[in-house]
Chain A
């Protein structure tokens, strides 16, 4: 089994003791197959127990360990050391306030997620006793990819608009709204649209596609945004130019 020495520069910030963030360098012996998270765990265990970061599943599904690795938003549990040369720089996700070290404050996303009503608003209420709604594999496929969002926040860290206009609802929240809008069982689009079509909704997106590029689950938030924009535009025309359609 092969090992190598890896140098990491990790952003440190403790609001109680530090005036501003700083980079701390660690040089540790790592196994070849390790991910960046393994290296951080090794540092925490054997070098510096004060280092703080979030992690849990180590299989890219809990969404805890999003961080900037050499300037790119990544899950630390899926960033292999073998893919990096030289010093690896590890920082908290961009565009979020730093709580401490690599831990960010994600209140903003949590509030925005709730605002877009990311839950099924049934088209037709049906008692549980009457069994499941029918939904064909083709109908499922229409929204399935948007269900795969693990709320890891990488897309927010990558999004240039969110960086400039923090009120922007952002890629993940819009994708999840779109996920329900596209669900054959759902009838809640109008309610969600009020949030999404508002000024800080989809119109802020300049469609750089950075969100889709960084998504570790291959969700395509950019596509969701584009589809929502088109629907919002159609809604506008209906309302203002074809009011008779509103019936």
Chain B
């Protein structure tokens, strides 16, 4: 009986601690919001201006391309704000500041500390996507799939995508050393964006069959295709069930690897 009572009390405390950790991250993120948005959304926004506004008007690309571009731009904003908001502070924390130490001393399991980072990353991904969406809408015109009836589906795909990339952030943040952070962005992140089907639908890769299957290891493909499926259903896109399954598998793999390397770094 006492054991049960303690167990319940401990779980309630763990919940309270988890929320306190989250409150800290939200607090800090709120203060750094302008920098955060600049860092994570400027690149996709510039893409919108060049490929969604300038090139169509110059006649180099057809205006239909806008519809292919929009979901991809949102996917990139969502994915890379999630991965960055988890990975960047973590690299600094484990690399030299050790500021995370005060949270590692909290009476809560290490898995919950890592999970809190994921939740904070998902929230920041959502914020970045919500910021980019109206601007994209303004420049590129109405979005077919953005209706009230579709909303739950949009949110579902968005949450899966943000989670996958937050978990990837956990893995990267706990594996990469501060010296390699620049390398990580040019060697991993940049190819991921260009081969992530963000700026062209996956099915059109049939013109390069090898590439069409090689890019399937890239998690961004599923986020971009998922966004395409819910936002511009008229465009060619992957089956949403396949997208969801792939993202869930990716989350499971990255979490397993990520929590292992996070624990290893956290334990001295």
Question: Do A and B originate from a single complex?
Answer: no
Interface residues of A (CB under 8 A from B): none
